Amino acid sequence: MATAVSAPGKVLLAGGYLVLDRAHTGLVFGLSARIHVVVRDIDTSAGVELSEMVVQSPQFRHASWIYGYRLTEELGGVHVTQLQRAPPAEHSRNPFVETALAYALTYISSVLPSTTIKPASITILADNDYYSQPASTTTTTSSQFTDFGVRLQDAHKTGLGSSAALVTAFTGAILSHYLPASHFSLASAQGRARLHNLAQAAHCAAQGKVGSGFDVAAAVYGTCVYRRFSPSLLSQVGEPGTPGFATRVHALVDDDGDAAQRWDAEVSKGGVTIPAGMALVMCDVDCGSQTVGMVKDVLAWRKQDAAGSKALWDELQACNDALAATLSAGTVDLERLGAAFEAIRARIREMGKRSGVPIEPLEQTELLDALTQGVKGVAGGVVPGAGGYDAIVLLIKDDEETLAEIETFLIKWCAEKKSNVKLLGAKGELEGAREEDGARYSGLFE
- CA–CA separation, 251 vs 224, rounded Å? 25
Compute the average pLDDT of residues 321-344: 92
What is the per-residue pLDDT for 293? 82
Whether pLDDT at 141 is above 50: no
Whether pLDDT at 59 is above 50: yes
Whether pLDDT at 390 is above 90: no
List the single range of 48-62, 103-117, 132-146, 359-373 with lowest mean pLDDT.
Answer: 132-146
Whether pLDDT at 148 is above 80: yes
Measured in degrees and rounded to the nearest 5, phi and psi for residue 395 equal -100, 120
Q: String of b and e for 417-437 (b: at least 16 CB within 10 Å)? A: eeeebbbbebbbbeebbbbbe
Give the gyration radius of the chain's Cα atoms: 22
- The pTM (predicted TM-score) of the whole model is 0.93
Q: Is the dihedral of CA 156, 428, 341, 376 positive or negative?
A: positive
Query: In whole numbers, what is the pLDDT of the chain averaged over residues?
Result: 90
Compute the average pLDDT of residues 244-249: 95
List the single range of 223-232, 407-416, 435-444 with lowest mean pLDDT.
Answer: 435-444
Whether pLDDT at 216 is above 60: yes
253-262: long-range contacts (C-beta < 8 A, 24 or more apart)? 253/107, 253/194, 253/197, 253/198, 253/201, 254/194, 254/197, 255/193, 255/197, 260/232, 260/236, 261/233, 261/236
Compute the average pLDDT of residues 145-168: 90
What is the per-residue pLDDT for 89? 58
Domains by residue range for the chain, with CATH? 2-269+432-441 (3.30.230.10), 278-429 (3.30.70.890)
Burial class (CB in 10 A: 0-12, 13-18, 19+), 365: middle
What is the per-residue pLDDT for 88? 61
Whether pLDDT at 282 is above 90: yes
What is the per-residue pLDDT for 446? 58
Compute the average pLDDT of residues 312-331: 93
Whether pLDDT at 392 is above 60: yes
Contact at 8 Å (CB) between 36 and 125? yes
What is the per-residue pLDDT for 284? 86
Q: What is the pLDDT of residues 75-117, one digit of tens each?
A: 999 999 999 765 665 668 899 999 999 999 999 999 998 888 9
- CA–CA separation, 393 vs 347, rounded Å? 17
Whether pLDDT at 137 is above 60: no
Whether pLDDT at 324 is above 50: yes
What is the per-residue pLDDT for 359? 95
